[in-house]
């Protein structure tokens, strides 16, 4: 599975927001997309998962133009965890997770087993009957990750998948996604986390993809000061690691 963006531009309300973005995620790669607030990351992600159309350029998954795929074919290839966690869904957690199976033929027993396993993996095991609307922000986010897992796609698009999570759950989700070995493009804000978890990252600024490559090559103090306007200093820092529970 390979995601390929070439020369992608996006306009919103007539305003150019993303300019000629080139970006690739290869099979099994974990790629982060970073950049300051308002630089166009979510707009680019929304264009990849077809909530928006590009004004120019091409987005392909395994060589096929994503904007020409049927809804079902697209949902079998790509799972999305978007930034907005829908709050008012009047469904149980089990029902929300089961939505991930919509692109496939229903197989009741096997699907329930899949849901149970996915909920276990995100730390919500046994929570099928809970009301989705009653979950905390972080629990909702994890339920939506479980929904993406049962979709069993080879490409995952995650827009700030850990924004509502405490440090332990952030690390667990990032480890989980890495261990899946599924091609992943994730918008992350924490540069240290991005550097620790991703194979490669792209840096966006003012609607452009400025740089891409392995974190140690891309995240130089010069680039960080240019893009974020802060001075980056490399020093020994407190490192959080997941405990084996």
Ligand X SMILES: Nc1ncnc2c1ncn2[C@@H]1O[C@H](COP(=O)(O)OP(=O)(O)OP(=O)(O)O)[C@@H](O)[C@H]1O
Q: How far is the C-alpha of 115 from the C-alpha of 100, rounded, in Å?
A: 9
84 is a site residue for ligand X (CB under 6 A): no
C-beta of 53 vs 175, nearer to ligand X: 53
C-beta of 14 vs 63, nearer to ligand X: 14
- Residues 92-131: x where in contact with ligand X by CB under 6 A, - otherwise, as a string: ----------------------------------------
DSSP assigned state of 236 = -
Minimum CB separation of residue 27 from ligand X in Å reads 26
Stretch that binds ligand X, among 9-17, 88-96, 170-178, 211-219 (CB under 6 A): 9-17
Cβ–Cβ < 8 Å for 51, 4 = no
91 to 82, 109, 155, 243: CA distances (angstroms) = 18, 19, 26, 33
Determine the size of the site formed for ligand X (CB under 6 A). Answer: 12
Stretch that binds ligand X, among 7-15, 91-99, 114-122, 191-199 (CB under 6 A): 7-15
Residue 17, classed as helix, strand or coil, is strand
What tokens were used for 225?
């000061």
- Residues 27-46: x where in contact with ligand X by CB under 6 A, - otherwise, as a string: --------x-xxxxxxx---
Furthest CA-CA distance within the chain: 54
71 to 54, 102, 161: CA distances (angstroms) = 17, 11, 23
- Residues 163-202: x where in contact with ligand X by CB under 6 A, - otherwise, as a string: ----------------------------------------
| Helix 108-121 × helix 137-150 angle, to 10° | 130
**Which residues are near ligand X by CB under 6 A?**
12-13, 15, 17, 35, 37-43
């Amino acid at each position: 599975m390979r995601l390929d963006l070439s020369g992608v531009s996006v306009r919103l309300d007539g305003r150019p927001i993303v300019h000629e973005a080139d970006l690739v995620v290869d099979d099994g790669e974990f790629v982060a997309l970073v950049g300051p607030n308002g630089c166009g990351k979510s707009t680019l992600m929304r264009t990849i998962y077809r909530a928006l159309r590009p004004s120019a350029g091409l987005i392909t998954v395994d060589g096929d133009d994503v904007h020409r795929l049927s809804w079902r074919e697209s949902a079998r290839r790509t799972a999305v965890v978007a930034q907005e966690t829908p709050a008012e869904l009047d469904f149980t957690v089990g029902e929300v997770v089961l939505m991930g199976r919509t692109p496939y033929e229903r197989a009741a027993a096997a699907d329930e087993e899949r849901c149970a396993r996915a909920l276990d993996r995100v730390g919500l095991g046994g929570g099928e009957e809970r009301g989705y609307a009653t979950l905390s922000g972080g629990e909702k986010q994890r339920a939506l990750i479980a929904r993406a897992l049962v979709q069993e796609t080879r490409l995952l698009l995650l827009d700030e998948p850990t924004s509502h999570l405490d440090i332990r759950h952030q690390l667990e989700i990032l480890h989980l996604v890495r261990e899946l070995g599924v091609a992943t493009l994730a918008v992350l804000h924490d540069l240290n986390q991005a550097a620790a978890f991703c194979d490669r990252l792209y840096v966006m600024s003012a609607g452009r993809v400025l740089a891409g490559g392995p974190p140690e090559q891309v995240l130089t103090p010069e680039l960080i000061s240019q893009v974020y306007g802060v001075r980056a200093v490399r020093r020994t820092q407190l490192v959080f690691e997941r405990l084996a529970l």
